[in-house]
Amino acid sequence: MKLLALELLLLLLLLSSACLLCPANSTASVLDRQADALLQWKSGLDGHGSCLNSWTKGTNTCNWTGIVCSTSDDAPGILSISLNSCGISGSLGKFWFAEFPHLQGLDLGNNSISGPIPSSIGRFVDLFDLDLSSNRFSGSIPTSLGNLTRLNSLYLSSNLLSQELSESAIGTLNSLQFLDIGNNKLTGPIPYSLGNLSTLYFLDLSFNKFSGPIPRELGMLESLISLYLLRNEITGCIPTELGMLQDLVSLDLSNNRITGFIPNLGNLTSLVSLVLSNNQITGSIP
């Protein structure tokens, strides 16, 4: 009995010293926590295709399908998660965002993920690419997205997202180059803070229920190449400021309730495609 107690004590001592020796956030412990978080999410899913078959306990997480790990010690752990077209159904409700503070890429496009986009997505402050397009996400676009100031591309198109797009969810994303939120059920005004996104190339808000006028601030998007606002409930005139978008190649404002005259578009020397049909616009195109 005494011997057993001694052995236990020794074991305890050994265990505690082993923990003292290991660095606070070693790559291994970060990865272990992230692997557990991903496995928990997987186990709560309603279904998935073969992509997630390699996600099993006890295997090398960095070898799992869709997972890319960091090679730097400053930010150990998983760098990106790419699960496009993996037949995933379920929600992000059990996705443990807090375990991935340095995630740079998240691609869940073309699955059947439903429920809201959790507002804790705003914790991915290093995120560069976010693709949640072609799923069944519903509810509003969370304001916390405005936290993701390093975001380069944001694809939320072809979901069931509704309600107004808040000014502060968008206006701070000043590294954004691609923004596609087309084919949802978004309502209310087009945020004027979009004019803050000076590096934007591609803007697609088509097939929603945006109403009110086109903000003049869109004329400040001097890198813009494609602007798609078709199939909304936009009213008012085409702002003359759109005539300042010198790099614009495609402009589609069709199927809205836009009125008034076509402004001078003579400076749009790169324009290849201009569609204004199904509005109440008058005037001619120079």
Ligand X SMILES: *[C@@H]1O[C@H](CO)[C@@H](O)[C@H](O)[C@H]1NC(C)=O
Report the interface residues with ligand X, using CB under 6 A. 24-25, 60, 63, 85, 87, 110, 119-120, 122-123, 125, 144, 147, 167-168, 171-172, 174, 193, 196, 243-244, 264, 266-267
User: 247 exposed, middle or buried (CB, 10 Å; 0-12, 13-18, 19+)?
Assistant: middle
Handedness of CA 68, 39, 129, 126 (dihedral sign): negative
Are 152 and 175 in contact, with CB atoms under 8 Å apart? Answer: yes
Helix/strand number for the chain, H first, E second = 3, 19
User: Of the two residues 26 and 280, which places its CB atom closer to ligand X in the complex?
Assistant: 26
Q: List 136's β-bridge partners, or say none.
A: 114
Q: How far is the CB of 9 from ligand X (least distance, A)?
A: 30
Q: How far is the CB of 125 from ligand X (least distance, A)?
A: 5
Q: How far is the CB of 190 from ligand X (least distance, A)?
A: 13
- At 168, the amino acid letter reads S
User: Of the two residues 8 and 98, which places its CB atom closer to ligand X in the complex?
Assistant: 98
Q: Which residue sits closest to ligand X, CB atoms considered?
A: 171
User: Of the two residues 54 and 211, which places its CB atom closer to ligand X in the complex?
Assistant: 54
Whole-angstrom distance, CA of residue 194 vs CA of residue 146: 12
Q: How far is the CB of 7 from ligand X (least distance, A)?
A: 33
For the chain, the C-alpha Rg in angstroms (whole number) is: 24
Looking from the CA of 116 toward its CB, the CA atoms found within 13 Å total: 12
User: Of the two residues 12 and 125, which places its CB atom closer to ligand X in the complex?
Assistant: 125
Q: How far is the CB of 63 from ligand X (least distance, A)?
A: 4
Terminal CA-CA length for the chain: 98
User: Of the two residues 120 and 163, which places its CB atom closer to ligand X in the complex?
Assistant: 120
What region does 35 belong to: left with phi over 0, alpha with psi -120 to 50, or beta? alpha
- At 185, the amino acid letter reads K
Q: How far is the CB of 134 from ligand X (least distance, A)?
A: 7
User: Of the two residues 184 and 255, which places its CB atom closer to ligand X in the complex?
Assistant: 184
